[in-house]
């Protein structure tokens, strides 16, 4: 049985790094906030999850929410189920489904 590898790039630097990794039998998931443009330069195939603050633009005209790691963690936690589903589905077609 071949090994299956899931590469997950998180944050702008993680997305860029994951995009450059080229391993056989691998799939990729790219996760970044919706305010940055790391996805613009991605050339490899993979799922892209843009984490967007649901209150973005409501707090002030000069929102700096994404400069606070504690806030970014809260935003990412709002996407926990969606990220989990992307990870599960990455190998569904491979017959691997014992994720729970």
Tens of pLDDT, residues 43-100: 999 999 988 777 666 665 556 666 666 777 777 888 899 999 999 988 776 655 554 4
pLDDT top residue among 6 and 12: 6
Q: Which tens digits make up the pLDDT trace of 14-30?
A: 999 999 999 998 999 99
User: What is the DSSP secondary-structure string of the chain?
Assistant: ----EEEEEEHHHHHHHHHH---TTEEEEEEEETTS-GGGG--S--EEEEE--TTTTTS-TT--GGG-HHHHHHHHHHTHHHHHHHHHHHTGGGT-----
Average pLDDT over residues 31-51: 84
Residue 37, phi then psi, degrees to nearest 5: -115, 35
Q: Which two tokens stand for residue 86?
A: 């992307």
């Amino acid at each position: 049985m071949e090994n299956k590898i899931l590469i997950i790039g998180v944050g702008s630097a993680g997305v860029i790094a994951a995009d450059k990794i080229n391993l056989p039998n691998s799939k990729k998931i790219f996760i970044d906030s919706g305010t940055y443009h790391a996805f613009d330069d991605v050339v490899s195939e993979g799922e892209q999850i843009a984490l967007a603050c649901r209150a973005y633009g409501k707090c002030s005209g000069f929102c700096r929410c994404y400069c606070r790691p504690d806030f970014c963690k809260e935003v990412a936690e709002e996407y926990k189920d969606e990220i989990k589903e992307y990870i599960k589905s990455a190998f569904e077609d491979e017959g691997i489904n014992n994720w729970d």
